A and B are shown apart, each in its own frame.
Chain A
Amino acid sequence: MDEIRLESIRNIALVSNVGAGKTSLTEALLYASGAIPALGSVLQGTTVSDFEPEELHHHGSASTSLLQFTWNQTAISLVDAPGALSLLGESLSALRAVDAVILVLNPGAGVRTELARLWARVQELDLPCLVFVNGLDKEGAALDSALDVCRTQLECTPIPMVLPVQSGSGFNSVIDLLDESLIRSGATSQKIERAAVPTEMEPAVKQARKQLIEAVAESDDGLLNRYVEQGDLTRDQLVQGLRSDILTRAFLPVYAGSALHNVGVWPLLNALVALLPSPTERTALHPVRGAHPETGQPCERKGRAEEPFSGLIFKTIIDPFVGRLSYCRILSGTIQADSVVLNGTRHVREKLGHFYTMIGKKHVAIGSAKAGEIVAIGKLKDTQTGDTLCHESAPIGYSGLGLPRPVLSFAIEAKSKAEIDKVSLGLHKLIEEDPTLEFVRNPETKDMVLSGMGQLHIDLALEKLRRKFGAEVTLHTPKVPYRETIKATSQAQGKYKKQTGGHGQYGDCWLEISPVARGEGFRFESRVVGGVIPRNFIPAIEKAWWRPCRRAGSADFLLWMCAWRSMTDPLTPLTHPRCHSRLPGRWPSKRRWKRDALFCLSR
């Protein structure tokens, strides 16, 4: 890859409702830039961004993919995260790695929950934003309805940057308001045709351009004066004004077209380079803040290449060929592949593997990376998604990705005994890729519990488990770890006799069980007097009681809040310690016990 200056980098994430066309737009941008020879389609499963079998099967992205290409001597990294609500964790992490966002809207669709949550995070991070209104090739689709959505639901001022010409079927051109020219393009050719604005559109174009210029001039006194004097602004002045307005989020510039038919994508591609901020500009406004991992002192990085190295891992994938790949946004400094750094989150040294730039599943090895770039780092051992990597002499830890906690749990069971190990190994690998999954064994109910953000999330995880690790599982509702206690005092006698051969063994012991105050737990006390049960046998009795206590009773629940007292029948001393450990097994009559003494507590 050619040497790239820091100013000519753009890191951009796409956010939208599920199914709004993020992956299609990514594909169209790649196609328009010449990075790929043919325009793929999500429905046919031919896009660069969706390549895993689960994504092809569901016709939608299931994990974040990174697409890096160059346009106008600028290295563009697009982060295409899935839109589904239950995969929200992926999109939220992607937002930490980028300097700007393309918001993809569908006319008539409104803002759904997933987008509302993402939009809240975009506002929190103060990320500059462009809008692309997708799907104008559909019958009845109109740009105005999308503008209304921006105004009412996103509470921002939208300013159109292009005007669609005759949307609906046969839609093939947009008018670029910056250049005041018509741009025609299609899905079969990477080339665009320019033409003059049709006369019937001229009044609308004039008005839209006036609106654009006024919006730009409003936020800059110099431009306002020039506009008042000359009645117009040059293209360069407009671009300059737009850049600063986008950086400060004064309004939302709106592009429009159809990603499926590669219409209106070219102006957007140019806008990415011309209008969106580079990492330097963004970090100048929002320096990245972290804390010293040991002292907790706040530190700051300005995002310059001369600073000590630091970076944030925002995604981990297990690649079938290169193994583990960690997507890292370099936040400051320069770093060579194969060097040793510190993991500021876990306080361990980490040897970096090779560096790669990614385009979907394809990767190209590179030698070094510097501030502002996104690279995939191979073979990290202890580093997980959300960790900070930094130079050993200047440790820093950035805050984690702020991922949501899982809300839906299932108990899973391997279909065959041979697969039990595979299930647990496989799920731990999947959790490395997706930290919003959780897999724990409940020690009380012995359930293996898999938790995720929703049904789709769990289903996708199990599909991956089957494909990658060949493990089939069944899902159940997890058991509730009920607890049991007793409500009354009770006594019982146990006897143990063994008279065959050698000296006979004989034991006799009375035990009393009684409730104690809530929260006291299990307590054992001996009330043996006069040494009728020798002192050294008492621990054996306690141990023997503790075991059934843990797995007590009719419902196999934890028994607690009891005091056990061991008493003896004064007549018969015990003769062998082993007989005590067998005593509890001798208690008769499960039926009576079930009937009488226990009730359970729910949680």
Chain B
Amino acid sequence: MSVEIETPTDTVGAVMGDINARRGRIVSVNADDHAEQINALVPLAELLKYAPVLNALTGGRAAMRWSLRATKKSPGNWQRKSVRRTRLNGMLWLRTEADQSVDLRTT
């Protein structure tokens, strides 16, 4: 998800550190008068309960907007976890050929 956070200057460090901890990538930081605007890409799964965290980090002084930007490949351990968590009702069978595998990270 593309996230846009406006935060007071004194808490920018805390917010940016937190975004990094949430598998996020900071795209840009623009300084305004008293506030800074952070643009970042963060997975949706990390943003579900982000509003209270952001409030706690900034004393409620930050504002946030988010929108879907693009889908990215999840890390392997994350995939295994989320697949295990959900029901197993797939009805497909596929035969893989390892040499033909496509890495979507580059596409």
Contacts and interface: CB of A to CB of B under 8 A. Distances in A.
Contact of A489 (B68, B85, B100): B100
A601 to B, nearest CB: 4
Interface in A129-185: none
Interface stretch (B14-22, B25-33, B44-52): B44-52
Given A488-B98, A602-B45, A590 B90 contact: yes
A593 B79 contact: no
Given A487-B104, A555-B90, A556-B89, 16 more contacts: A454-B51, A480-B82, A482-B82, A490-B97, A552-B90, A554-B90, A557-B86, A584-B91, A584-B92, A587-B93, A592-B94, A596-B95, A597-B96, A599-B73, A600-B79, A602-B74
A554 B83 contact: yes
Contact of A487 (B65, B72, B82, B102): B102
B86 to A, nearest CB: 5
Nearest to A586: B91
A592 B93 contact: yes
Interface string A527-560: 0000000000000000000001001111111000
Interface of A: 85, 112-114, 116, 404-405, 407-409, 454-455, 477-478, 480-483, 485-492, 513, 515, 517-518, 548, 551-557, 584-585, 587-590, 592-594, 596-603
From DSSP, what is the main secondary structure of chain B's interface residues?
A: loop
A513 to B, nearest CB: 6
A409 B92 CA distance: 33
B55 interface: yes
B91 A587 contact: yes
B61 A116 contact: yes
B79 A599 contact: yes
Contacts of A599: 73-74, 76, 79
A513 B92 CA distance: 11
B79 A590 contact: no
B24 interface: no
B68 A485 contact: no
B52 A488 contact: no
Contact of B60 (A85, A490, A491, A598): A85
Nearest to A592: B93
A478 B51 CA distance: 14
Nearest to A404: B63
A322 B93 CA distance: 61
Contacts of A482: 74, 82
A113 B71 contact: no
B50 to A, nearest CB: 8
Interface string B1-15: 100000000000000
Contact of B100 (A116, A488, A517, A601): A488
A488 B97 contact: yes
Given A487-B104, A488-B101, A596 B78 contact: no
A587 B93 CA distance: 6
Contacts of B92: 548, 552-553, 584, 587, 593
Nearest to B63: A404
Given A489-B97, A492-B95, A593 B49 contact: no
The winner among B1, B51, B87, B101 for most chain A CB atoms within 10 A is B51
Contacts of B93: 492, 587-590, 592-593
Return the 4 tightest CB-CB contacts between A and B, nearest first.
A553-B90, A602-B74, A597-B94, A490-B94
B101 to A, nearest CB: 5
A455 B51 CA distance: 9
Contacts of A405: 65
A485 B104 contact: yes
Contacts of A517: 107
A498 B45 CA distance: 47
A602 B100 contact: no
Contact of B96 (A113, A552, A596): A596
A408 B66 CA distance: 11
Contacts of B85: 555
A198 B100 CA distance: 95
Contact of A602 (B63, B78, B94): B78
Given A487-B104, A489-B100, A492-B93, A455 B52 contact: yes
Nearest to A588: B93
Contacts of A481: 44
Contact of B52 (A114, A454, A489): A454
Nearest to B78: A602
Contacts of B71: 483, 601-603
Contacts of A557: 86
B75 to A, nearest CB: 8
A592 B64 CA distance: 43
A603 B1 contact: yes
A478 B48 contact: yes
B6 to A, nearest CB: 11
A517 B102 CA distance: 10
Nearest to A481: B44
Nearest to B49: A477
A551 B61 CA distance: 41
A490 B100 CA distance: 10
16 contacts: A85-B55, A405-B65, A480-B48, A483-B71, A486-B94, A487-B96, A487-B103, A548-B91, A554-B86, A554-B88, A587-B92, A588-B93, A590-B91, A596-B96, A602-B44, A603-B44
Contact of A555 (B1, B45, B86, B95): B86
B82 A600 contact: yes
Contacts of A597: 94-96
B69 to A, nearest CB: 9
B68 A603 contact: yes
Contacts of B103: 487
B55 to A, nearest CB: 7
B91 A585 contact: yes
Given A552-B92, A553-B92, A601 B74 contact: yes
A556 B87 contact: yes
B94 A596 contact: yes
Nearest to B48: A477
